[in-house]
Amino acid sequence: MRIALVAPLAEAVPPKLYGGTERVVSWLAEELVRQGHKVTLFASGGSRTAANLVVCAPQSLRLAGIRDHLGSTLRMLREVRQRADDFDIIHFHVDLLPQALFHDLAHKCLTTLHGRLDQPDILPLYEAYPEMPLVSISNAQRLPMPANANWLATSRTACLPRFAHSTPKAVNIWRSWDASRLKSVPIAPLKSPSGRAFP
């Protein structure tokens, strides 16, 4: 498959320092390439990957001292949008913006939500675009979301790095890609290496 992975621009992929989301995107990109998929990674400069890298900012925005990432992220999403026909699947790891900008391509998009979902101002956006498939990092993360949220799966790669190279859930999602079946996937609670339970 031709897969686009769209990473936050805050850190390089993989991150040099902190950057949980960027680390997960790196694991996913490398695993998908290993499995023979044609992967294009949209990320900041300084990223290292076996995938085709599209540099969307000269360096990670946090290290460049840029606090507001909206302009750079919108510019990256424009480039993704212009190349959308090149991909079978576009997997976003930047939360809110793809909902409004790619809803007409929902059949080939999914967004893994890595952050907090209990912010009141984000709920109207997710409620307005129920056609956009979402992936959570835990079942508990889903609780504040609108009832019409289109959950495709829960992917624990963010919580359990030891499983990152053993066919993560997100990789399995694409093997059976069928937009008519975009429903929640029940998963039993797991424990992280630190012993915390992730429902």
CATH of the domain at 17: 3.40.50.2000
3-state SS, one letter per residue, for 2-43: EEEEECCCCCCCCCCCCCHHHHHHHHHHHHHHHCCCEEEEEE
Following CA atoms 14, 97, 34, 199 in sequence, which dihedral angle do they give, to the nearest 10 degrees? 80
Domain total in the chain: 1
Task: Work out the widest C-alpha separation in the chain, in whole angstroms.
Answer: 44
Q: What's the average model confidence in pLDDT over 74-82?
A: 98
Q: Which domain holds residue 102?
A: 2-198
pLDDT at 96: 86
* Average pLDDT of every residue of the chain: 82
* pLDDT tens profile 25-57: 999 999 999 999 999 999 999 999 999 999 999
Q: Please state, in angstroms and rounded to a whole number, the distance separating the CA atoms of residues 103 and 107.
A: 9
- pLDDT higher at 185 or 20: 20
Is residue 117's pLDDT more than 60?
A: yes
